[in-house]
């Protein structure tokens, strides 16, 4: 005779709780205490009760899936993906798995009208964004998501009064420490490469840190040593050539990202400048390629492990209608061969 299949009533009786509490505990409802949930799970194991995940999700209207939308960065490479986001992808995937969620990864074109955001929200409980392209256009899309009540969070600039929820690095302080390191090494004529328009608020904050370090050292920024450039190696190469050809004193370059810095290394070599002898160069991000340039690139490291963890944890709080704070994560200067003290 076939054994009777255990039911939620049997679990409730063994655990000494109501059937509704059993149902809420098995779907990890935040209203159920941790002690009660563990008691229910112990009873379920004793009875060899198997949770029907699909039925549970259907009843709770949850997918147990998070969507990660990575927006293309046309200037970066043939893959159109900023290599910094590959490290972020890994950390977000691990964080989602630790919390028992699957991750739906989708690569998006910047030319899209935001329809992908809404499509992803139908297949996932919340959305994580990496990359935003043109910031003003992106913020308009974020405001629409807020109005629609779709839980979402973005890795990007943390600015006062912006819609949505953001987690990002301390761009100002990271840049300040990088430029202060150049100054301490005896460099006095420091160029800046990066787009500081409203389209790139993170680069703009890194420029603020650059100016702050110069001011604190009693130095004046030379406007002729600043060049706008998008995040691409070819842009860094072009900018380094242009700076070298301007005939102004130049003994260091701070680039707003590693891709620009790597391009600047090649540009310096093309103009017969030795790095770090004639010119010290620092980037920002600490992508994997920074280890393998010649010389290895000094850079500002963004903490991708903490970023992935905080993105997932805060998105889960938003999905439960719990408040969160926008978070700025500290950076760390990683000194390698592209910098050397003068004298």
Angle in degrees, CA 36, 311, 316, rounded to 5: 30
C-beta of residue 283 within 8 angstroms of C-beta of residue 210: no
Of residues 205 and 341, the one with the higher pLDDT is: 205
pLDDT of the residue at 54: 47
Q: Nearest 5°: phi and psi at 332?
A: -145, 130
Mean pLDDT of 199-217: 97
CA pair distance 166, 331, nearest whole angstrom: 16
Of residues 44 and 105, the one with the higher pLDDT is: 105
pLDDT of the residue at 78: 55
Asked if pLDDT for residue 101 goes beyond 80, the answer is yes
pLDDT-based confidence at residue 197 (cuts at 50, 70, 90): very high
pLDDT of the residue at 180: 98
Task: Write down all domains in the chain, each with its CATH number in brackets.
Answer: 8-60 (1.10.260), 65-168+304-328 (3.40.50.2300), 171-302 (3.40.50.2300)
Asked if pLDDT for residue 264 goes beyond 70, the answer is yes
Asked if pLDDT for residue 1 goes beyond 50, the answer is no
Asked if pLDDT for residue 189 goes beyond 60, the answer is yes
**Of 59-63, 98-102, 162-166, 173-177, highest mean pLDDT:** 173-177
- In this predicted model, what pLDDT tens digit does every residue of 9-52 receive, in sequence order? 788 888 888 766 777 777 666 567 878 888 888 888 888 776 55
pLDDT of the residue at 112: 55
Q: Average pLDDT, whole number, for the chain?
A: 86
Residues near 225 by beta carbon (within 8 Å), at least 6 away in sequence: 189, 190, 191, 192, 243, 246, 248, 250
pLDDT-based confidence at residue 60 (cuts at 50, 70, 90): very low
- In this predicted model, what pLDDT tens digit does every residue of 220-259 receive, in sequence order? 999 999 999 999 999 999 999 999 999 999 999 999 999 9
Asked if pLDDT for residue 153 goes beyond 60, the answer is yes
Mean pLDDT of 137-142: 84
pLDDT-based confidence at residue 343 (cuts at 50, 70, 90): low
C-beta of residue 314 within 8 angstroms of C-beta of residue 158: no
The pair of structure tokens assigned to 220 is 């004046």
Residues near 161 by beta carbon (within 8 Å), at least 6 away in sequence: none
CA pair distance 256, 282, nearest whole angstrom: 9
Q: Nearest 5°: phi and psi at 129?
A: -110, 135
pLDDT of the residue at 110: 59
C-beta of residue 49 within 8 angstroms of C-beta of residue 11: yes
Mean pLDDT of 175-192: 98
């Amino acid at each position: 005779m076939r054994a009777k299949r255990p039911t939620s009533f049997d679990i409730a009786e063994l655990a000494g709780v109501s059937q509704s509490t059993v149902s809420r505990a098995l779907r990890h409802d935040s209203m159920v205490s941790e002690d009660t949930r563990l008691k229910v799970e112990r009873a379920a194991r004793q009875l060899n009760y198997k949770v029907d995940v699909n039925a549970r999700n259907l009843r709770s209207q949850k997918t147990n899936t998070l969507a990660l939308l990575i927006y293309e960065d046309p200037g970066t490479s043939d893959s159109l993906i900023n290599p910094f986001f590959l490290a972020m992808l890994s950390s977000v995937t691990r964080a989602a798995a630790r919390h028992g969620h699957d991750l739906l990864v989708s690569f998006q074109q910047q030319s899209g009208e935001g329809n992908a955001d809404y499509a992803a929200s139908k297949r996932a409980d919340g959305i994580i964004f990496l990359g935003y392209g043109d910031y003003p256009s992106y913020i308009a899309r974020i405001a629409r998501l807020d109005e629609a009540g779709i839980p979402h969070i973005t890795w990007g600039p943390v600015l006062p009064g912006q819609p949505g929820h953001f987690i990002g690095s301390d761009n100002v302080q990271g840049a300040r420490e990088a430029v202060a390191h150049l100054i301490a090494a005896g460099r006095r004529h420091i160029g800046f490469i990066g787009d500081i328009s409203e389209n790139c608020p993170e680069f703009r904050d890194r420029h603020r840190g650059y100016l702050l370090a110069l001011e604190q050292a009693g130095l004046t920024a030379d406007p002729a040593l600043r060049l706008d450039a998008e995040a691409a190696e070819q842009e860094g190469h072009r900018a380094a050539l242009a700076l070298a050809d301007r005939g102004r004193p130049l003994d260091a370059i701070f680039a707003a990202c590693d891709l620009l810095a790597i391009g600047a290394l090649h540009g310096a070599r093309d103009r017969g400048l030795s790095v770090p002898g004639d010119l010290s160069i620092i980037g920002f991000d600490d992508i994997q390629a920074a280890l393998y340039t010649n010389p290895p690139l000094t850079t500002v490291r963004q903490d991708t492990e903490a970023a992935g963890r905080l993105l997932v944890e805060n998105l889960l709080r938003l999905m439960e209608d719990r408040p969160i704070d926008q978070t700025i994560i500290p950076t760390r200067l990683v000194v390698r061969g592209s910098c050397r003290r003068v004298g």
